[in-house]
Every structure is written in structure tokens, then in C-alpha cells.
Amino acid sequence: MDLLILFGAMVLFFALGVPIGICLIFPCFLMLLVNPVTSASFLAQSFYTGVASSSMIALPFFMICGNIMDKGGISKRLVAAANNCIGGITGSLGMVTILACMFFGAVSGSAVATVAAIGAIMLPEMVRNGYDKFYATGLCAVAGGLGIIVPPSYPMVIYGVTNNESIGDLFVAGIVPALLVGALLMLVNYLYAKKRGLKGTNKFHIKTALKGFWDAKWALLMPIIILGGIYSGAFTATEAAVVATVYGIVIGVFVYKEVTLQQLWNEFKSTATFSGGMMWTVAPATAIGLVFTYLGVNKAIASFFLSISSNMYVVMFLVTCILFLIGMFMQTTPAIVIFSPVLLNVAKAVGVSSLQFGIVMTLALAVGFCTPPVCANVFVAQSMTGLPMDKIVKPAVPFIGVLILALLAVSFVPALSTGLLSVLASLKG
């Protein structure tokens, strides 16, 4: 009964269009009236627990860093580097878009920012070179999901904080799945381009490729500094975020000289505003997660799944389907905070590690960025082009299909997420 009231209140407020933070806060306090064991002090402590972790500090710093690097002319340099590298391949402009999204994702950690930054450059260029405008827009929307798949990724940070998992290990575990997603998206684009006779825009020359990478070297060095520093033990994930921010400021303001002090100040203010709003989501979402634990929801759901099957493949398929549905209807942060502890118990019961499940959940939520009704990436792409939503989603279906394929592969094959960590551990040992 308690659970029904909790979910009923959340669904009602969602349907009324109430801001997500309020949708999560109100059911928590409603529980005070229907369940005397749930106390105000318990909820207050739960709210505090949700935002008290020092690792949460990494989020605003990664956001500031990504925004500064975007404003600092990074996106155009990354596009140029990608174009010089694969510009001679059939369907090269689509591949450049995907590769540039991977590069930019490693800088920004945001799917929406990736769509906006890379789409602004590549959408007009693809249309001018014979690509269908609906296809080009759908490609940008889906490829932008690489922004949260390629480490560093803010969903990985939130997952690590929520489930007490190493953020550095999550970043490393996400590398191979990110490369897999990028390769599959490129394959779909290649088949499309070959069918329509879309040739490469320029021939490959080693000198030109090297020059492109040299021009973008400061941007490309950032993920190396972050991941290398974390895994070498030079600094923690939180410290890495601060290092990345200082690095981004130096590059944007003093090296590329495309970020003014006024823009820098504005980025600090906008990030502070966004972070404050995010805390209003994380705090009650954490409380709801703890209420779930108190009500025995975690154990009940685990028992339900295991009553269906104890086979890892069957259970992970069902869990993946649920994650897919959650990503369609809920924003990333509350989805991770509320549902990851619940579903992680199920995954662990069939032998899936916390690291693997973290990458599975990140991929599932990346799909949610492209699927209605939330589909934040599609909304951003639509705002840039003015095209009808349904006309964008239709050509994006093959790309969404390979995202789901990659999601299932990572769900069923642990080595795709944990294999690189094992290799690095053996090298260190």
C-alpha cells in the first residue's frame, strides 16, 4: 500500500507537468502521513546523504570544463581533425560527425552539448554535400548520445556516487563500449552512403591528418590527462575534474584566446544554477531510493526476477528492457539515483558486477536521449533545424537499433566493460 501511494503520487505529479524535483520531494513527505515509521529526521538525513559525497563536486567542474572548451573553439578543431583523418571514406561527412561527437564527448561529458556543438557545424555541411536533411539531423541526434558514453561521463559520476563504485574504474570500463558504439554507428552510415553514392569529401594525406590532430592537440589531451591521472593514482576523480577545469580555462582563455573573462564568469554562474537545480533532484531521489530499501522493494524485485529465471542472460535481458523504458520516460539523474540500487541487486544476484551494470545503465539512458517522449537530443536537433519530430526520428531508427545492439552486447559480454580494467591491472601487477 505504501509503495502504491509513493508511485501514485509521483505519476500524478509527472502527469500534471510539475518540475521533477517537486515530483520527487512531495511523495517523500506524503510517506510521513501514511507510514509513521518514516520520520522527518530520516528524510532529512536521506536528503543530506544524497548530496554530501565529495565525489559530487566533480559534476559541476566537469560541466564548467566542457562548456569552456565548447566556447573556446574546440568543436571546430575536433571536426577538422576528424575530417582530415577520414575525409576520403565513403560517407565521410557522416563518419566525421560520429568521430567528432566521440572527441567532443570526451571533453564535455554531455549528450545535449555534443548535439548542439557538433550539429551546428556538421548539419549544414552534410546537407550541402547531398545528405538527406532528415537523415543528417537524426544522425546528429543519435551520435550526440556518445557525449555520455565516452568517458568522462556525468551519468557515470552519478552512478559511482550512488552505488559507491570507483568513478575512475567506470571511466576506464566505458572506453571499449564507447568505441563499439562509434564503430556500429559508422557502419550504418557507411551502408547508407554507399547505397546513395555519397563519396568522400577529400583524399587522405598523412601530413594533413597530422596537422589536424596537432591543431586539436590541446582538446585531445584532456581525456588522456583525466583518465591517465585517475588510473595512475595521481589524483582522484574529483581532483581530476578540478584539474580539467583549470586546464580548460588555460586553453580557452590563454592558448586559443576564444573565451573572454566575461564568458568565463557567465559559465560559472550558469553551472552554479544548473548544479543547484540538480541537487534538488538528487536529494529527494536519494531519499526515495532509501525509502524503497526500507519498504523492502529491492529484495522484492530481486526475488521477482529470480522467480522468473536464474539465468544471467534472461535476467539481464529483462533488466535491460526495464532500463530502456526508464530512459524513455525519466531524466538521467533521478533514473540513476532511484533505480540503479534496485536493479543492481538483481544484476548482482546473477553474477553481474557493479562496474558492468554501470556501463549497461549508461548505454540504456543514452538510448533514452533519442527515444520519445523525453528524447532530449532529438529536441535539440529539432530546434536547430525546425524539422518535424517524426521526420527526424524515422531515419534515426537504424542508429537507435545499433545502440540497442551495443547495449545488449555489453549486458551479455562482461569482457566488453571489464576486460580493459583486467588488462591494465595485470600490467600494473
The model's pLDDT over 358-399, given as tens digits with 9 standing for 90+, comes to 999 999 988 888 887 777 788 888 888 888 887 888 888 999
State the total domains in the chain: 1
pLDDT in tens, 76-121: 777 877 877 776 788 888 888 898 888 888 877 778 888 888 888 8
- At position 146, the amino acid (one-letter code) is L
43 is a domain residue: no
Q: How sure is the predictor about 421, in pLDDT bands with cuts at 50, 70 and 90? A: confident
Greatest Cα pair distance, the chain, in angstroms, is 72
Residue 372 lies in a domain: yes
Q: For residue 222, what are the contacts with CB-CB under 8 A and spacing of at least 6?
A: 65, 69, 106, 107, 244, 247, 248
Domain assignment present for residue 34? The answer is no
Is 46 among the domain residues?
Answer: no
Q: Is position 217 within any domain? A: yes
Task: Give Cα 27 to chain centroid, integer Å.
Answer: 27
pLDDT tens, residue by residue, 197-249? 877 666 666 777 777 778 878 877 878 888 788 777 788 877 888 888 888 88
374-404 residues labelled b (16+ CB within 10 A) or e (exposed): bbbbbbbbbebbebeeebbbebbebbbebbb
Spatial contact of 108 and 66, defined as CB atoms under 8 Å apart? yes
Q: Which residue has the cell 511523495?
A: 27
The verdict on residue 307 lying in a domain is: yes
- Average pLDDT estimate for 126-142: 89
Q: Is 423 helix (H, G, I), strand (E, B) or coil?
A: helix
Range of the domain at 144: 2-29+54-275+286-428
Q: Is residue 48 part of a domain?
A: no
Query: With left for phi above 0 and alpha for psi between -120 and 50, is residue 198 left, alpha or beta?
Result: beta
Residue 154 has pLDDT above 60, yes or no: yes
Strand, coil or helix: 387 = coil
With CA atoms as reference, report the closest residue to 393 among 376, 374, 365, 372. Answer: 372
Instruction: Determine what percent of the chain is predicted with pLDDT higher than 90.
Output: 16
Write the single-letter amino acid at 123: L
42 inside domain: no
Decide: 317 and 411 in contact? Cβ < 8 Å.
Answer: yes
42-75 pLDDT, tens digit per residue, is: 777 777 776 676 667 777 777 777 777 767 677 7
Q: Is the pLDDT of residue 37 over 60?
A: no
344 vs 292: CA distance, rounded Å: 13
Cβ atoms of 409 and 180 within 8 Å: the answer is: yes
